[in-house]
């Protein structure tokens, strides 16, 4: 083990620091058509296995729909405080709007009660990318009506679960689902084009802010946040054109959503072409776009080294591939760089309206091997130790960091990448659905009990 900056102990993070895990409905639940659930865009996208690496079929994913009690108990046995999960929109409203599915409500009631009975605080994410297919056919995130659809769905959830759930994440990684899903066409629903992206992104901002207001109306004492993806961005060198390219990349990846949500507008200072998003505005949007969030969730997975490029337009920057830079890579060939976390924590904490920060996802995928009922995932363990040292350093520097949630509890279906990338603290045999706690999971259990460094 590494003994850098002295011993690492749970109590050094403070009594109010929360330790948790995060999962998502689509990636974990499986049973996509069970008990009245309607299809989402990801059900449609993954039904064509040519869209998925290795032609993986999602099947029952990691079977959370049937094994949620086992998984929640595993999280509790590790000594965690928080179980963060998302609600599948189409389990609640199979047609996106209208009739509520009682069996879907019953399932999430059981999940919430299981969390509470096992001493875990439920953090509920309202939207983790699984848009109802019927709403996509009406334009989905590019249709301004999505604001009304999303608020109607939110209202059902807070009315049904708000008596027990006090921590809400309105949306997960809006840049990922709008950028990959509506600009690049890499993720569901496989749409492309700058106008599609700008519409989807602006409507997502409105939904996050308006959704926050709606939750506050029904649950005045709720803790409300959003979970934003972010990347540490640096220029390939100090040439002015590459420095400017890195600033534009940073604006897109790290500023694009946080600033309008804080009432600052979109980052047009370094990307003037973004002013075209104002064509989508309606009167009053400047006020509708921001909300006083209780916490900001950050999700940092990789570093970006940027350089000037003529493509894509507006951004005029691209990334030097990590393979080309001979960086340390995860299974998805992304740059593993824990030192970037502290810099990002300072970046976001510098916004005056950011009250507190939670690492709402933190994880890494490396190849795992089950040998004699053991998985010695030493690289993942060292990764989390390094990340925690960056968090501890930030806390010592006075930053308001209030939690660290591991992505993820059990191995699951990693969207377009299929089953190959394994992020879990628990190994899953996807044929038998047997769970085996990995070395990293055992370390967290002992660390949270105060027994290890």
3-class DSSP state for residue 83? strand
Exactly one of 173, 250, 259, 319 is catalytic; which is it? 173
Q: What is the pLDDT of residue 324?
A: 97
Q: Count how many residues are written for the chain.
A: 453
Helices (H), 4-63: 25-28, 41-47
- CB-based contacts of 286: which residues, under 8 Å, 6+ apart? 265
> Does residue 173 carry a catalytic annotation?
yes
What is the model's pLDDT at position 5?
42
Three-state DSSP at 199 gives: helix
| Extents of the domains making up the chain | 10-448
Return the closest-CA partner of residue 199 out of 181, 212, 215: 181
Q: Where are the beta strands (DSSP E) in 211-267?
A: 223-235
Token pair 């990590």 in the structure block, residue: 322
Catalytic residue among 18, 250, 361, 414: 361
Residue 29 burial by CB count (10 A; 0-12/13-18/19+): exposed, middle or buried? buried
Asked if residue 150 lies in contact with residue 127, where contact means CB atoms within 8 angstroms, the answer is: yes
| pLDDT tens-digit series, residues 240-270 | 999 999 999 999 999 999 999 999 999 999 9
- pLDDT tens per residue, the chain (453 residues)? 333 445 899 999 999 999 999 999 999 999 999 999 999 999 999 999 999 999 999 999 999 999 999 999 999 999 999 999 999 999 999 999 999 999 999 999 999 999 999 999 999 999 999 999 999 999 999 999 999 999 999 999 999 999 999 999 999 999 999 999 999 999 999 999 999 999 999 999 999 999 999 999 999 999 999 999 999 999 999 999 999 999 999 999 999 999 999 999 999 999 999 999 999 999 999 999 999 999 999 999 999 999 999 999 899 999 999 999 999 999 999 999 999 999 999 999 999 999 999 999 999 999 999 999 999 999 999 999 999 999 999 999 999 999 999 999 999 999 999 999 999 999 999 999 999 999 999 999 999 999 876
Farthest-apart Cα atoms in the chain, separation = 63
- What are 86's two structure tokens? 């998302």
What values do phi and psi take at 274, rounded to 5? -65, -15
Please report the pLDDT score of residue 205 as a whole number. Answer: 99
Six-digit token pair at 57? 């079929």
318 three-class SS: strand
Q: What is the model's pLDDT at position 3?
A: 37
Could you say which of 3.20.20.80, 1.10.540.10, 1.10.287.130, 3.30.750.24 is the CATH number of the domain covering 10-448?
Answer: 3.20.20.80
CB atoms within 10 A of CB 137: 12
Task: Extract the tokens encoding 87.
Answer: 């609600």
Please choose, from the candidates 253, 209, 196, 251, the residue with its C-alpha nearest in 3D space to the C-alpha of residue 228. 253
**Pair of tokens at residue 433:** 């659905």
Q: What is the pLDDT of residue 6?
A: 56
Buried b (16+ CB within 10 A) or exposed e, 322-354: beeeebeebbbebbbbbebbbbbbebbbeeeeb
């Amino acid at each position: 083990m590494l003994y850098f900056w002295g011993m690492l102990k749970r109590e050094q993070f403070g009594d109010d620091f929360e330790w948790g895990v995060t999962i998502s409905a689509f990636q974990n639940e499986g049973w996509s058509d069970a008990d009245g659930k309607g299809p989402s865009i990801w059900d449609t996208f993954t039904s064509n296995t040519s869209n998925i690496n290795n032609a993986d079929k999602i099947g029952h994913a990691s079977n959370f729909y049937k094994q949620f009690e086992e998984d929640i108990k595993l999280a509790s046995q590790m000594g965690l405080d928080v179980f963060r999960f998302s609600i599948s929109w189409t389990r609640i409203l199979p047609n996106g709007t209208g009739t509520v599915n009682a069996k879907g409500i019953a399932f999430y009631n059981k999940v919430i009660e299981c969390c509470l009975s096992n001493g875990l605080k439920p953090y509920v994410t309202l939207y983790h990318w699984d848009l109802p297919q019927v709403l996509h056919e009406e334009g989905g995130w590019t249709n301004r009506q999505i604001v009304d659809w999303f608020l109607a769905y939110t209202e059902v959830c807070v009315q049904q679960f708000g008596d027990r759930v006090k921590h809400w994440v309105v949306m997960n990684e809006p840049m990922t689902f709008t950028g990959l899903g509506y600009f690049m066409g890499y993720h569901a629903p496989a749409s492309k084009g700058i106008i599609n992206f700008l519409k989807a992104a602006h409507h997502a901002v409105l939904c996050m802010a308006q959704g926050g207001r709606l939750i506050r109306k029904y649950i005045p004492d709720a803790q409300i946040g959003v979970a934003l993806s972010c990347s540490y961005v640096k220029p390939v060198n100090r040439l002015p054109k590459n420095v400017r390219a890195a600033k534009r990349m940073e604006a897109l990846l790290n500023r694009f959503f946080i600033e309008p949500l804080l009432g600052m507008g979109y980052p047009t200072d370094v990307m003037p072409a973004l002013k075209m998003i104002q064509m989508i505005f309606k009167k009053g949007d400047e006020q509708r776009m921001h909300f006083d969030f209780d916490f900001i969730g950050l999700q940092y997975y990789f570093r970006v080294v940027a350089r000037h490029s003529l493509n894509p337009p507006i951004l005029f920057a691209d990334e030097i591939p990590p393979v080309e830079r001979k960086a340390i890579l995860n299974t998805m060939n992304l740059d593993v760089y824990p030192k970037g976390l502290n810099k990002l924590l300072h970046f976001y904490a510098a916004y005056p309206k950011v009250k507190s920060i939670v690492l709402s996802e933190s994880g890494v995928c490396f190849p795992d091997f089950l040998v004699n009922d053991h998985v010695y995932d030493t690289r993942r363990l060292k990764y989390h130790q390094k990340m925690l040292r960056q968090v501890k350093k930030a806390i010592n520097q006075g930053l308001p960091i209030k939690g660290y949630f591991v992505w993820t509890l059990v191995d699951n279906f990693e969207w377009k990448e299929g089953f190959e990338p394994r992020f879990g603290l628990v190994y899953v045999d996807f044929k038998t659905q047997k769970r085996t706690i990995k070395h990293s999971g055992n370390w967290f259990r002992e660390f949270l009990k105060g027994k290890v460094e």
